[in-house]
Amino acid sequence: MEKRKIERVEDMPVFQACFALALSIEKDSRAFAADFKWLRGQVLRSSESVCANMTEGFYSNTARNTFKPCIGAVGKDGKR
């Protein structure tokens, strides 16, 4: 598996999978009966919030400051 540099949240495979799932949920939930419109709304909000939370965390300064030292703590040879 080739490693790619992740520069944007959209480059993360997990984000791409969650986004595709959210689109699928939106498409499939259109068929909900009128009695279950409340459920459709709830499902849509929760599926959208996954991508929104990942984006917020990816671009937050707190995450960069927390994880940057961890990424640089191990050298290319696996030694500290």
pLDDT at 46 over 70: yes
**Which residues 6+ apart lie within 8 Å of 26 measured at CB?**
44, 47
Mean pLDDT on 37-56: 94
Phi, psi of 23 (to 5 degrees): -65, -40
How confident is the model over 9-36, as pLDDT tens digits?
Answer: 899 999 999 999 999 999 999 999 999 9
The mean pLDDT value of the chain amounts to 83
- Distance between CA 14 and CA 12 in Å, rounded? 5
Domain boundaries, the chain: 9-72
Q: What's at 54, amino acid-wise?
A: M
Measured N-to-C along each axis, helices 37-59 and 61-72 cross at an angle, to the nearest 10 degrees, of: 60
State the pLDDT at residue 72.
53
Please give the DSSP secondary-structure letter assigned to residue 18.
H
